[in-house]
Homo-oligomer: A and B are copies of this chain.
Amino acid sequence: MSVENLSKDLERVSTETMADIVELRLREFFKKKSFKPGDALPKEMELVVALGVSRNVVREALSRLRMLGMIETRKKRGMILARPDVLGTFERVLDPLIIDDHILQDLFELRLVLEMGLADLIFLRKTDKNIAELEKIALDETHDGEKRFRVKNEIAFHGKLYEITGNNTLKRFQVMLMPVFGYVTTLEKDKEYQTGKVDHLDLVNILKNGTKEDFKAGMYAHLKPHFDSLTKK
């Protein structure tokens, strides 16, 4: 019998620790009881008794949930369910150095997808004020050849585009993906840096006078060097 077949019949021995289990149980418990943010949760010792584990284990699980922002604890007052910061947890693990290369590539593509998809929101929420600020950024750009300046320009300009969408979560997402983007582009530093046919000022002018479709085409042209680096897989 081959190993593959064996592992289908023999379930893997659980390596879960008590803390893992308790963490899961607490999650299920909160959901089952349909606790809402602000609701008071049971005391530590009540959980200890109910779950039949040591306070140590319960505290490890609670510590995890606290890290995620799912619960808040105050001395004496006990614990309450809180609203987790969905992106905050993401930031914690988004270190290019410890993420798998395939995932990094995926995230790189994700960024491109986002930028291409922004157009509709941008056109919905752009204002003369917004565009003026964007134009200022484009005009202020240093045309020094040094890479770090180019990167700085890119961040400022594209960051502003995200801002115009009025979607703060999207904006934070972009900030988080920046290091990934920077990392991946440095990986291909041997290649000659090619800017797209359309630069930032061109995009501003399209925003002013052009149509949404013009903008989408312009953005693609601007990002074309990056799209060209993608493979069919």
Contacts and interface: CB of A to CB of B under 8 A. Distances in A.
Interface of A: 19-20, 23, 27, 31, 34, 36-37, 56, 59-61, 63-64, 67-70, 81, 83-86, 89-90, 92-95, 97-100, 102-103, 106-107, 109-110, 112-121, 124-125, 165-170, 173, 213, 216-217, 220, 227, 230, 232-233
Copies in the complex: 2
A99 B114 contact: no
Contacts of A19: 63
Nearest to A100: B83
B86 A93 contact: yes
Contacts of A67: 20, 23, 64, 67
Contact of A93 (B23, B69, B116, B121): B69
A37 B112 CA distance: 27
Nearest to A168: B106
Contact of A103 (B89, B109, B169, B232): B169
